[in-house]
Amino acid sequence: MRALLGMAMLAGLCACSAAKQEPAAADLQWADTARPGDVRLAERYERSCMVCHARSGSGAPLAGFAPHWKPRLDKGVDQLVRHASDGFNAMPAMGQCNDCSADDLRALTLFMARSGT
């Protein structure tokens, strides 16, 4: 019974934070621990994108957090990848990953938007 109550409360919290588009603890944990499956990509991800995209409050859309990525994905993946490559406001060109190829940037973008790997 107590466990059920806890789950109901968690569900309530999640619904609330999704509405406010603020990541919950589980979202922050995903961003902190998830890595692309490919070892080479994971290394690039850790040393570049994660610095800004794996923490809340940096101004960057949080990795894996759908409410941050959904409106961006609506612009089309190609547009997002172009912004990752050329820079976009506070998003630095190439995401500070100078040895990332265009394919790497696309894969990393899709990974963070969780619409592929």
Distances in whole angstroms, Cα of residue 5 to Cα of each of 11, 25, 88: 10, 18, 44
Q: Decide whether 14 or 30 has the Cβ nearer to ligand HEC.
A: 30
Within 9-117, strands assigned E span none
- At residue 88, the 3 state secondary structure works out as strand
Nearest residue to ligand HEC, scored by beta-carbon proximity: 95
Q: Decide whether 31 or 83 has the Cβ nearer to ligand HEC.
A: 83
Under the binding rule (CB under 6 A), the answer on residue 41 touching ligand HEC is no
Out of 23, 36, 64, 95, name the contact with ligand HEC by CB under 6 A. Answer: 95
- At residue 102, the 3 state secondary structure works out as helix
Q: Decide whether 24 or 72 has the Cβ nearer to ligand HEC.
A: 72
Out of 61, 62, 65, 68, name the contact with ligand HEC by CB under 6 A. Answer: 61
Tokens of 32: 């902190």
Out of 30, 88, 110, 115, name the contact with ligand HEC by CB under 6 A. Answer: 88
Contact (Cβ atoms closer than 8 angstroms) between residue 41 and residue 79: no
CB-CB neighbours of 5 under 10 Å: 9
Angle in degrees, CA 97, 100, 102, rounded to 5: 130
Rule CB under 6 A: which residues touch ligand HEC? 48-49, 51-53, 59-61, 72, 75, 79-80, 83-84, 88-92, 95-97, 100, 105, 108-109
